[in-house]
Each structure stands twice: as structure tokens, then as C-alpha cells.
């Protein structure tokens, strides 16, 4: 009976060690899931020739007309702020998930799609997410290296 008890205790200890080591490497452990911060996305919407469609002198759209909605059934728009002094840009906080889709309503008849892909910002005990890729109407957008602002190209 002592051998069976010792064997059971050994198996239990071994499995406990495996579970503990696996949970330590999981960036989305139970303690972290409620603390994943939103992802801040800074952007300008520009024409194919690079003209800012909201903040240039003869912009065809008013900055207060932009609304951002989420795909997951949320009908209220995301709060969108305007930032920057010398170079103005839009900013909004997206959910801290690995992938999501947002809809940009510029006017009643003009709705565009933004898809973002993110990954854990490691190393950290409870990592946030960092943007890997942003797609605007199917086109990949890269951030400006100096400002971190995405230039989203609007096709007509």
C-alpha cells in the first residue's frame, strides 16, 4: 500500500509541475484576461495621391463626420479623437484582441472596412497587444516610422 501511495503521489506531483509550467508560459492566463488593455490606433485617411481627406485645406470630408463601429454587434460608435498639433490625425482604442474588424462610416453612403491583426507584446507577465498588420478596404497599411500613424488609403 505504501508503494501505491508513493506512486500516486509521484504521478500527482509530476502532473502538477507540468500544469504549472504550462500556465506560466501562457500570455492569456486567467489572471491576465481581464487586464488586456485596448490597442490605440492612430491614422489618417488619405487619397491615392496622399492628400489627407479630413485635415487638408480643401478636405472633402469634415472631421466630425467619421464614426467607427465594431463588427461584433455593437452599434454604438467607438469614441474617435483628433490628436496632433502640427500634423493632425484620428485616434481610437480598439479592443485588445488578436484580430478584429471595424467599419468606418464617413457618410451615410460611404462605409469602409478596417481589419487589424495583433499579437501579444511579450515579454510581460500580463502582456498587452501590439499591432502587426492593419488592412483598410483590403489594402495593407504600414505606420509612418516617425509618428506611428497609419496612412489609410481610401479608394474612390
Domain ranges, residue 16: 1-34
Residue 34, classified by CB atoms within 10 Å of its CB into exposed (0-12), middle (13-18) or buried (19+), is exposed
Segment among 30-39, 83-92, 138-147 with least mean pLDDT: 30-39
Q: How many domains does the chain have?
A: 2
Verify that 48 and 115 share a domain, yes or no.
yes
Verify that 67 and 109 share a domain, yes or no.
yes
Verify that 52 and 96 share a domain, yes or no.
yes
Verify that 90 and 107 share a domain, yes or no.
yes
Name, in order, each residue with C-beta under 8 angstroms of 32's C-beta and a sequence gap of 6 or more. Answer: 125, 126, 127
Locus of grid cell 500580463: 126
Verify that 60 and 119 share a domain, yes or no.
yes
Verify that 43 and 75 share a domain, yes or no.
yes
Mean pLDDT score, 126-150: 88
| DSSP 8-state class, residue 148 | -
Note the pLDDT tens digit of each residue in 20-41.
Answer: 444 444 444 556 656 678 888 9
Per DSSP, the three-state class of 30 is helix
Segment among 32-36, 41-45, 50-54, 80-84 with least mean pLDDT: 32-36
How are beta strands 150-153 and 39-46 bridged, if at all?
parallel
Verify that 29 and 50 share a domain, yes or no.
no
Verify that 149 and 126 share a domain, yes or no.
yes
Question: Degrees (nearest 5) of the Cα angle 64, 89, 111?
Answer: 50
Verify that 29 and 41 share a domain, yes or no.
no
More confident residue, 32 or 70: 70
pLDDT at 43: 95
Amino acid at each position: 500500500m505504501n508503494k501505491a501511495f508513493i506512486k500516486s503521489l509521484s504521478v500527482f506531483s509530476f502532473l502538477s509541475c507540468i500544469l504549472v509550467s504550462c500556465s506560466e508560459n501562457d500570455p492569456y492566463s486567467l489572471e491576465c484576461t481581464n487586464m488586456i488593455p485596448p490597442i490605440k490606433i492612430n491614422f489618417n485617411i488619405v487619397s491615392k495621391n496622399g492628400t489627407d481627406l479630413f485635415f487638408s485645406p480643401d478636405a472633402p470630408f469634415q472631421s466630425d463626420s467619421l464614426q467607427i463601429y465594431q463588427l461584433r454587434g455593437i452599434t454604438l460608435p467607438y469614441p474617435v479623437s483628433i490628436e496632433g498639433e502640427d500634423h493632425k490625425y484620428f485616434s481610437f482604442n480598439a479592443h485588445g484582441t488578436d484580430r478584429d474588424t471595424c467599419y468606418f462610416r464617413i457618410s451615410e453612403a460611404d462605409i469602409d472596412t478596417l481589419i487589424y491583426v495583433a499579437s501579444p507584446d511579450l515579454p510581460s507577465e500580463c502582456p498587452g497587444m501590439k499591432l502587426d498588420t492593419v488592412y483598410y478596404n483590403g489594402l495593407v497599411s504600414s505606420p509612418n516610422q516617425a509618428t506611428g500613424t497609419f496612412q489609410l488609403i481610401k479608394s474612390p
